[in-house]
Amino acid sequence: MRNGRIIFLNGTSSSGKSSIARELLAILDGDPWFHLAVDGVNAMRANREVAPEALDGILRRTRMGYHRAVAGMAAAGNDLVVDHILSEPWRLADLLDVLSGFDVFLVGVRCPLPELERRERERGDRLPGAAAYQYARVHAHGVYDVEVDSGADTPRACAEQIRAYVEGAVSRGESPTAFARLRAMAADEGEGHGEGEDAGSGDRVVPAGTRAS
């Protein structure tokens, strides 16, 4: 049994990752793909107040569990569309370790900040300022297999671009390279699993009915 392939969407809150993921599930060929979203794991957590000194540990455990759930689903042969926010360096470092041996197509979902802020205001289910906080951080690693602009293109158009890249690479027998390049960069720089905190990432306790990123 082969490992499942992973299309990994990275972008800020409100950048349209979930909408693109839904479109991808509708158009990708082969066995049915799964959308495994970080918001889905967030939604499993009890919506209660948390002491500030405990928050970082809870968020880190949530993220680490999510990363390993992705690996487990793919190891069982499931093809996945994953959406995440790589706004803290340790998240990417952990994923490079946990997803070693898997084909991961790393997709940058970019969107201009004014548009992100407009969407954030209209949605009303995100903490104000989350997108702005993440904007300079989420793409800091700078390496992707493919990038899309969700401010200029519709979710379907972005999904079509991603599908064309992924299915083209698969048909040619080519593996994605972004994760391999990032591992090489980390090795050259002597980077390990940093101690970056998650508390400023926009994932805090929010009122019932809202969703943290």
Answer with the residue of higher pLDDT: 23 or 193. 23
Reference 135, options 155, 113, 167, 120; nearest CA is: 113
Cα angle at 76 between 71 and 82, to 5 degrees?
A: 40
**For residue 90, how many C-alpha atoms fall within 13 Å in the half-sphere facing its CB?**
14
Question: In the predicted model, what is the mean pLDDT of residues 40-60?
Answer: 88
Q: Let me know if 43 is exposed, middle or buried by CB neighbors in 10 A (0-12, 13-18, 19+).
A: exposed
**Residues 73/114, Cβ–Cβ less than 8 Å:** no
Collapsing DSSP to helix, strand or coil, 104 comes out as strand
Reference 175, options 102, 69, 89; nearest CA is: 102
Answer with the residue of higher pLDDT: 111 or 209. 111
Predicted confidence at residue 123, as pLDDT, reads 82
Tokens of 63: 């993220």
Question: In the predicted model, what is the mean pLDDT of residues 186-207?
Answer: 53
Pairing mode, strands 80-84 and 146-149: unpaired
**pLDDT at residue 193 above 50?**
no
- For the ranges 6-20, 42-56, 102-116, 173-187, the lowest mean pLDDT is seen at 42-56
Rounded Cα gap, residues 182 and 75, in angstroms: 21
**pLDDT at residue 212 above 70?**
no
In whole numbers, what is the pLDDT of the chain averaged over residues? 88
Predicted confidence at residue 155, as pLDDT, reads 98
**pLDDT at residue 109 above 90?**
yes
What whole-number percentage of the chain has pLDDT above 70? Answer: 88
> pTM higher than 0.95 for the full model?
no
**pLDDT at residue 141 above 50?**
yes
- For the ranges 40-54, 160-174, 181-195, the lowest mean pLDDT is seen at 181-195
**pLDDT at residue 201 above 80?**
no
What whole-number percentage of the chain has pLDDT above 90? Answer: 70
Predicted confidence at residue 128, as pLDDT, reads 76
Rounded Cα gap, residues 122 and 90, in angstroms: 31
Reference 29, options 2, 60, 7; nearest CA is: 7
